[in-house]
């Protein structure tokens, strides 16, 4: 275990097999579920006492034949939806774990991600670039799209419940209109796989992570090409979550989690324990006071006090902004001082030139032509 600067001593819990995904309950902050490579689903609870925090496994159940790759809750929190490498989608009661509905062969290839649109509709993406819309009350998909040539890495729905964003391994951000069931727009090809996306800045921006360690930014409704990029990490970014409109956490290929501020973009700190493998999963509670992510091994999850993390991060952002402001004015004053020195030097050289001109009156005119131009003045202007 490698010690990190912030929250590297929080509680962690170990599971029998590798954890692939996790998701907090939409209305109960201290409850989350974790999906394992073995096909098991674990119901977890955070115990936040006055003196210490801990995590307990309330229930475990085999829900798929192969690994659980994605988890989602309906907005009311009544149902859990899981998608698996076995190509199936299953809906279960959150309280009892009893199966409510299932799609045994929902896709032809393994499902990689899902997104809950509302209490009845969800979207799924698979390893072959297909995106499908489903209504739990119907047996067949509402719509099917194949606009990407590589795997769908992540799906995100806007607050309007009609705009669906999909990132893919081919390096595109694809936008669908859920209500009209059609493709709205697709971005140009980026230089690397897009691994995740989040909507930030009160819905004005979209941030996408990449396997190059670069963050791409898009203006809302201007998804054709990125508006900005931030090369923040030396290794790939596997997962991405938001803690507020300008504070994000990245889970990286080097096994580290990092907090970053947006607009202006800045890496704030490394948080939590370092994992021996890439950070497979990151999840924040509905009140963003808890953060869980892969811990020292893929079989463990660690809990981070996101409430304190936000406080520390916001203090760092303020200090950083103040430092930048001070550096700006220091540079500004320095530039003014340099300009004054240059003006004085220029005046002195002009006086010398006048004396030289008086001396050169007796010289040949050819020698006057051969004199070099005053580059300093040309550069100055």
Q: Reduced to 3 states, what is the DSSP secondary structure of residue 53?
A: strand
What CA–CA distances, in Å, run from 97 to 40, 43, 44, 69, 82? 12, 9, 13, 18, 12
Q: 């990190």: which residue's tokens?
A: 4
Q: Which helix (H) or strand (E) holds 32?
A: strand 31-36
Q: Confirm whether pTM is higher than 0.85.
A: no
CA-atom Rg of the chain in angstroms: 28
Q: Which pair of structure tokens corresponds to residue 311? A: 């406080």
**CA atoms 297, 70, 229, 159: torsion sign:** negative
Tokens of 245: 């409109």
Q: Give me 333's structure tokens.
A: 């004053």
What per-residue confidence (pLDDT) applies to 6? Answer: 87
Residue pLDDT tens, the chain, 381 long: 344 458 888 999 999 999 999 999 999 999 999 999 999 999 999 998 878 899 999 999 999 999 999 999 999 999 999 999 999 999 999 999 999 999 999 999 999 999 999 999 999 999 999 999 999 999 999 999 999 999 999 999 999 999 999 999 999 999 999 999 999 999 999 999 999 999 999 999 999 999 999 999 999 999 999 999 999 999 999 999 999 999 999 999 999 999 999 999 999 999 999 999 999 999 999 999 999 999 999 999 999 999 999 999 989 888 766 665 454 444 545 554 555 555 555 555 545 544 444 444 444 444 334 444 332 222 323
Report pLDDT for 234. Answer: 94
Asked if 144 contacts 158 with a C-beta cutoff of 8 angstroms, the reply is: no
- Please name each of the domains of the chain with its CATH number: 17-321 (2.130.10.10)
The beta strands (E) that lie in 151-246 are given as 152-157, 163-168, 173-177, 182-186, 194-200, 205-210, 214-219, 228-231, 237-244
Is residue 87 within 8 Å of residue 107, measured between CB atoms?
Answer: yes
Tokens of 250: 């990245």
pLDDT confidence of residue 341: 55
256: phi then psi, degrees, rounded to nearest 5: -115, 150
Query: How many C-beta atoms surround the C-beta of residue 24 within 10 A?
Result: 24
- Which tokens is 146 given? 């194949």
Give the pLDDT of residue 343.
Answer: 54
Q: Which among 26, 1, 85 is positioned nearest to 300, based on CA atoms? A: 1
The residue length of the chain stands at 381
Other beta carbons within 10 Å of 141: 17
Residue with tokens 């001070």: 326
């Amino acid at each position: 275990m490698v010690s990190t600067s912030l929250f590297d001593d929080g509680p962690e819990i170990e599971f029998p097999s590798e954890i692939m995904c996790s998701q907090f309950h939409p209305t109960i902050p201290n409850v989350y579920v974790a999906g394992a490579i073995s096909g098991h689903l674990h119901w977890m609870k955070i115990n936040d006492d006055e003196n210490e925090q801990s995590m307990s496994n309330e229930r475990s159940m085999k829900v798929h034949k192969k690994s659980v790759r994605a988890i989602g809750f309906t907005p009311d929190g009544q149902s859990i939806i899981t998608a698996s490498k076995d190509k199936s989608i299953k809906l279960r009661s959150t309280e009892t774990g009893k199966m409510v509905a299932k799609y045994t062969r929902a896709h032809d290839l393994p499902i990689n991600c899902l997104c809950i649109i509302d209490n009845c509709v969800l979207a799924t993406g698979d390893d072959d670039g297909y995106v499908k819309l489903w209504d739990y009350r119907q047996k067949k998909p509402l719509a099917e799209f194949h606009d990407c040539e590589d795997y769908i890495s992540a799906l995100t729905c806007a607050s309007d419940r009609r705009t669906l964003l999909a990132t893919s391994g081919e390096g595109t951000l694809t936008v669908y209109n859920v209500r009209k069931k059609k493709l709205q727009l697709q971005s140009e090809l980026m230089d690397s796989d897009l691994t995740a996306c989040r909507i930030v800045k009160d819905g004005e921006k979209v941030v996408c992570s990449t396997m190059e360690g670069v963050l791409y930014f898009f203006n809302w409704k201007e998804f054709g090409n990125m508006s900005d990029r931030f090369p923040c990490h030396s290794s790939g970014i596997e997962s991405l979550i938001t803690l507020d409109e300008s504070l994000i956490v990245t889970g990286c290929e080097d096994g580290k989690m990092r907090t970053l501020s947006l607009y202006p973009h800045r890496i704030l700190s490394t948080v939590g324990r370092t994992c021996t493998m890439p950070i497979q999963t990151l999840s924040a509670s509905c009140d963003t006071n808890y953060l869980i992510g892969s811990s020292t091994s893929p079989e463990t999850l660690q809990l981070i006090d996101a409430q304190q993390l936000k406080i520390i991060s916001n203090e760092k952002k303020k200090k950083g902004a103040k430092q930048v402001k001070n550096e700006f004015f220091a540079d500004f004053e320095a530039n003014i001082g340099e300009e004054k020195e240059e003006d004085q030097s220029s005046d002195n050289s002009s006086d010398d030139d006048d004396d030289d001109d008086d001396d050169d009156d007796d010289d040949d005119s050819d020698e006057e032509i051969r004199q070099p131009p005053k580059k300093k003045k040309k550069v100055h202007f």
